[in-house]
Amino acid sequence: MSILFLGTSSGCGKTTVCAMMCRYLHNRGFDVAPFKASNLSLNSVATSDGCEIGMAQAFQALASGIEPDADMNPVLFKPSGDRRMQLMVNGKPCMEVNETAHADHGMLVRTVRDAYSRLESKHDVILCEGSGSPAEINLFATDIANTGLMKSIGVPAVLVCDIDRGGAFAAIYGTWRLIPNELKPKMKGFIINRFRGDIRLLGDSLQSMEELTGMKCLGILRYERLKFPDEDSLIISRGYLSGDDANEAFLLNLDTMISHAEEDGFDFDSLMKYIGLN
Amino acid sequence: MDCMRKKVNEEIKRGWIGSNCECPYHPAHFTHQDCSWCYCPFFPCNDRTFGCEVETKHGPVWDCTDCLFIHRTDVCKFIYEEIDRLGIEDANDTRFKDIFESAKKKYWKKGKALMVVGATSDAGKTVTVTALCRILHDRGYLVAPFKAQNMSLNSKVTLFGEEIALAQDLQAKAAGLKNPDSHMNPILLKPKGDCVSQVIICGKPFKDYDAETYYSEFVDEVGIGIVKEQMEFLKDRYDFVIMEGAGSPAEINIYDKDIANMRAAEIADADVILVINAEFGGSFGYAVGTIKLIPESDRKRIKGIVMNNVRGDPKCFGAGISTLEEITGVPVIGIIPHADVNLPKEDSESLRSSEQGSGPLIGVIKFPHIANFTDLDPLLLENVRIRYIEKPEDFLGVAAIILPGTKNTISDLNWMKEKGIANSVLKFKGRGPILGICGGYQMMGKTLDDSEGLENGEKKVYEGLGLLDNTTRFPSYDKCIRRDQGKLNIGDLGEFTGYELHMGISEVNEKPLFTIEKMFGDPEQEGSVREDEKLYGTYMHGLFDKPSFRRHFVSVMKNDFTENCPAKDYDASVEENIQKLADIFEKNLDMKTIMALLGVNE
């Protein structure tokens, strides 16, 4: 049982929405774990068995009430400047990637699939997060975290979009349109994130989007001033799950976000159905 | 009139002089203008393409303040040739009428408009228009920027005392224009909170609207007419009008009511280019979605896509570009690399602390309705760091405090008290300079009297911070909008320039900070200062632009009065950055296509 949260751009709120859903299901007694096939980040944390994973997945593990695990983020690229990156595989340094040295695509696909199966055997529900936008047509061939993951494990997806930046309808429609046709049936719904202003102004435009794409609008999440660990924050990388106040504060914020979503009529039921929970 | 005829006679005798860079008023209208006819030989031409009749207390007068036709070099040269050919010696010669007609026939042509829309806010519309204005100006054209409707809290005051958005002011400067005016931004929305905005029309406050009534009542009844009228006005006077859209043009929920994007393009009969900020990721999705969601009849106006702010190798887009062109049928006409240019920022999304470096830290209170925060940009010319303060803990380590401008003084004053920030400011007193600008200045006083309820809705008198012995009243909906210049009353007594934009009047019982010099009449005193307590307050926006006050403020903060490295002029730095930006765009944009869209085949 799983779902993939895709985003129309970087920074649209995939990580937070995925963390919120981890927390929502954990609070309801489900055994849930986060998964991001491939991460590009300098902010990472150490797992208890000495592996390194992206900070966002550690945060989502916190929301799921479990310890971070190398299988939650099997591929991690750490930029080291000058177009060089350190490639971490299964939480351990693997190789130096640069303009001439590329990682073997087949190896990465296998790594992701194996880590996902191990994680699936340990937990009931897997909530996956995509990377950047899934509609980067120049990267389709080498993608392992978005359409690549949909192909390799057959996971259904929902699309998260940041409306505060403007152009949300275009982003949702354009992203959906560029998803390869054979994967379009797997695109189940979309989520509008960071909405502020007068909701009446949206009129029947959400319905038009549903008709145009066949995806269901799962809800509109309001613009939150809550603090979550973001790419620039270092706070979660210290004292992980040791009852640190910062972590408790993050969880409280997630709970606030869930209750706001419930107030605003977010369609948790349909999302649960797409995940395969009835 | 006789006096003017005498001047024209002198100009006839003098002959063609081109640009008169020696003149203290040069360039009065635009860079490289032709000054041969400082006094127009055709006045009054009574041609409504160039001016109109206005009522004054002396009766109707022909007003052609905005006409630039007589300052075109080809026109000036043509007039002298005709004068020679016809042997005209006197300004009263009736044949000037014929010269005017043939000059208009030969050299006047209705301007052409081109529009830049963006896939999102912050896509790079403003910089693209700025760059195009400069590139075309450098190629010798008369160019005007235009944004039908702008929502922004950062505005500037024009020479005529009108309020326009900061971005259009900047773009006009990029176009070499000395007097940006409200025709370039006829509708300005200044958000006041709770979905309500103050609507400024042609530079003057019109009315407050909430979003729903703005779309249901204002747009069709008033808005469209204004956009049409102002667009015609600019097309009559400029070769090109470079238009900027607002937000995304593909917001299907307000598509029919949106007068800032495709509807404005239709009114102006403009071709459109779409700019996308590649840094966000998802550029292809945004491009395809924006173009496809726009109805067919409008879509055909979109003639090019510009990928902006591209980091890394442009080749990384690879085959993606040709696939995108195939799907949308629109060519990609530019891939613009990320550029480190430092220009005034418009939207609050761009509000960022700048804490890198080692200089002293300035704490700026981040009011919920913070406005005109571009006042602070010039501080980055000094070795200082800026932090936006939202809670008492943020005060740690700051060496100075600035209370910036706000769109709602009283609501933000209450916010500051509730958050405990007001207390922290009071505790800071004496430790370093505290400066209040506009709304922040009003808060520094003893009382704020809103007994008419005009500022915050509730009829009430509020207690200020009491740092200064001043009282502010909000007796009417009037707004003070004006540009000032003069001298500092402290420090090196150097010059300042600035502008005022405020509701409310303050009764000041402090030593004034500035002396405003007037072209006519006595100088005026403005602001408040207590040098011993390091307290400063003023209505003057832009007060850091000139080095004098800025250096004083920074030196008080550093407790160091001996610094004498030369200070940079902010205007010069803006000019430098405009040129840098224009160069990057010119190099990476398919200018041949742009010129063809403007009707010029090179």
The pLDDT tens digits of the residues spanning A223-250 come to 887 766 654 333 333 323 334 456 777 7
Which residues in chain A have Cβ-Cβ distances shorter than 8 Å to B324? 137
CA nearest A132 in B: which residue?
B281
Band of residue B17 on the pLDDT scale cut at 50, 70, 90: very high
Band of residue B161 on the pLDDT scale cut at 50, 70, 90: confident
Q: How far is A142 from chain B (nearest CA, A)?
A: 13
In the predicted model, is pLDDT for residue B359 greater than 90? no
Band of residue B565 on the pLDDT scale cut at 50, 70, 90: very low
pLDDT at A266: 97
Comparing B150 with A85, which gets the higher pLDDT?
B150
- Asked if the C-beta of A40 comes within 8 angstroms of chain B's C-beta atoms, the answer is no
Average pLDDT over every residue of A183-189 = 98
In the predicted model, is pLDDT for residue A101 greater than 90? no
User: B420 is written with which tokens?
Assistant: 């405990």
Instruction: Report the range out of A262-266, B193-197, B319-323, B355-359 with the highest average pLDDT.
Output: A262-266
Over residues A52-68, the pLDDT tens digits come to 888 889 889 999 999 99
Q: Which residue reads 């070795």 in tokens?
A: B383
pLDDT at A243: 41
% pLDDT > 90, chain B: 64
- Report the residue from A7, A170, A205 with minimal CB separation from B289: A170
Least confident span in B196-200, B484-488, B489-493, B519-523: B519-523
pLDDT at B348: 45
Task: Specify the pTM.
Answer: 0.83
With an 8 Å Cβ cutoff, are B282 and A136 in contact? yes
In whole angstroms, give the CA distance from residue B325 to residue B327: 6
- Asked if the C-beta of B254 comes within 8 angstroms of chain A's C-beta atoms, the answer is yes
- Asked if the C-beta of A137 comes within 8 angstroms of chain B's C-beta atoms, the answer is yes
With an 8 Å Cβ cutoff, are B281 and A172 in contact? no
Band of residue B346 on the pLDDT scale cut at 50, 70, 90: low
Q: How far is A35 from chain B (nearest CA, A)?
A: 21
Considering B137, B183, B369, B541, which one is annotated as catalytic? B541
- Asked if the C-beta of B312 comes within 8 angstroms of chain A's C-beta atoms, the answer is yes
Average pLDDT over every residue of A264-277 = 96
Average pLDDT over every residue of B440-453 = 93
**Residue of A77, A99, A136 for testing the chain B interface, max B β-carbons within 10 Å:** A136
CA dihedral B516, B519, B523, B525 (to 10 degrees): -20
With an 8 Å Cβ cutoff, are B312 and A8 in contact? no
CA nearest A134 in B: which residue?
B282
Least confident span in B49-58, B213-222, B337-346, B406-415: B337-346
Least confident span in A117-121, A146-150, A154-158, B598-602: B598-602
pLDDT at B345: 66
Comparing B396 with B334, which gets the higher pLDDT?
B334
In whole angstroms, give the CA distance from residue A102 to residue A97: 6
Least confident span in B201-205, B430-434, B452-456: B452-456
Band of residue B562 on the pLDDT scale cut at 50, 70, 90: very low
- CB distance B117 to B273 below 8 Å: yes
Q: How far is B600 from chain A (nearest CA, A)?
A: 32
Band of residue A82 on the pLDDT scale cut at 50, 70, 90: low
> Which domains, ranges and CATH numbers included, belong to chain B?
2-107 (no CATH), 112-344+579-597 (3.40.50.300), 351-568 (3.40.50.880)
Least confident span in A66-70, B350-354, B538-542: B350-354
- CB distance B305 to B331 below 8 Å: yes
Kindly list the distances between the CA atom of residue B290 and the CA atoms of A103, A194, B149, B251, B252, in Å, as whole numbers in the listed order: 35, 20, 20, 9, 10
Comparing A197 with B243, which gets the higher pLDDT?
B243
Comparing B474 with A106, which gets the higher pLDDT?
A106
Average pLDDT over every residue of A111-119 = 97
Band of residue B114 on the pLDDT scale cut at 50, 70, 90: very high
Band of residue B438 on the pLDDT scale cut at 50, 70, 90: very high
CATH 1.10.940.10 assigned to domain A2-37+105-275? The reply is no
In the predicted model, is pLDDT for residue A175 greater than 90? yes
Bond before A229 cis per omega within 30 degrees? no
Phi-psi region of B425 (alpha: psi -120 to 50; beta: other; left: phi over 0): alpha
With an 8 Å Cβ cutoff, are B254 and A173 in contact? no
Work out the mean pLDDT of chain A and round it to a whole number. Answer: 89
Sequence ranges of the domains in chain A? 2-37+105-275
Question: Which of residues 227 through 266 in chain A touch B, CB cutoff 8 A?
Answer: none
Comparing B392 with A185, which gets the higher pLDDT?
A185
Average pLDDT over every residue of B74-84 = 95
Q: Is residue B541 annotated as part of the catalytic site, yes or no?
A: yes
DSSP letters spanning B218-280: IIIIIIHHHHHHHHHHHHHH-SEEEEE--S-TT-TTSGGG-TTTHHHHHHHT-EEEEEEEGGG
pLDDT at B566: 47
Kindly list the distances between the CA atom of residue B395 and the CA atoms of A124, B382, B401, B402, B449, in Å, as whole numbers in the listed order: 47, 21, 9, 12, 29
Band of residue B374 on the pLDDT scale cut at 50, 70, 90: confident
Considering B45, B64, B133, B438, which one is annotated as catalytic? B438
Band of residue A124 on the pLDDT scale cut at 50, 70, 90: very high
- Report the residue from B290, B292, B349 with minimal CB separation from A167: B290
Over residues B456-494, the pLDDT tens digits come to 778 899 999 999 999 999 887 677 877 888 999 998 899
For strands B240-244 and B505-507, give the pairing: unpaired
Query: Which stretches does DSSP call E strand in A61-215?
Result: 75-79, 85-89, 92-97, 125-129, 157-162, 187-195
- Asked if the C-beta of B290 comes within 8 angstroms of chain A's C-beta atoms, the answer is yes
- Report the residue from B120, B285, B349 with minimal CB separation from A135: B285
Question: Which of residues 174 through 213 in chain A touch B, CB cutoff 8 A?
Answer: 174-175, 177-178, 197-198, 200-203, 205, 208-209
Band of residue A197 on the pLDDT scale cut at 50, 70, 90: confident
**Residue of B126, B252, B355 for testing the chain A interface, max A β-carbons within 10 Å:** B252
Average pLDDT over every residue of B269-275 = 98
For strands B535-538 and B434-437, give the pairing: parallel
Instruction: Report the range out of A176-190, B55-69, B419-433 with the highest average pLDDT.
Output: A176-190
